[in-house]
Amino acid sequence: MPKNRILICTFLALSSGFFCAYISGQVTLMLRSQRCQNQPWLLNQMCNAWETPGAMWQGSTTGLWTGTVLGAFVGGLVTRQNFNS
């Protein structure tokens, strides 16, 4: 069981981390792009082009760390052994 437990925890941590990185990147991008809404069309496009890389980097990094930690925690809970029985 220990090898399976390690594989399950690793898989859950990584998949949760990548999923949360994607979601968090998208949310951060939407929030930051709202800064550019009141600009004329060309300035709006330039503002979005300026904001996108930083928003994706910040959101994805935050989501990756948070998702990985939470995924590992859930994986540990799911695969824990009950020694009482």
Span 2-17, pLDDT tens digits:
678 889 899 999 999 9
In a domain, residue 43? The reply is yes
In a domain, residue 2? The reply is no
In a domain, residue 1? The reply is no
Q: Is 76 helix (H, G, I), strand (E, B) or coil?
A: helix
What is the structure's pLDDT at 85? 52
The span from the CA of 3 to the CA of 9, in Å, is: 10
Q: Are 21 and 63 in contact (CB under 8 A)?
A: yes
Q: Which domain holds residue 29?
A: 14-79
In a domain, residue 64? The reply is yes
Task: Give the 3-state secondary structure percentages of the chain, helix then strand then coil, rounded to 5.
Answer: 85, 0, 15
Mean pLDDT of 14-26: 96
Q: Are 36 and 51 in contact (CB under 8 A)?
A: yes
Q: Name the token pair of 30.
A: 């939407």
User: Where does the pLDDT of residue 83 fall: very low under 50, low under 70, confident under 90, or very high at 90 and above?
Assistant: low
Q: What is the pLDDT of residues 66-79, one digit of tens each?
A: 999 999 999 999 88
What is the structure's pLDDT at 26? 96
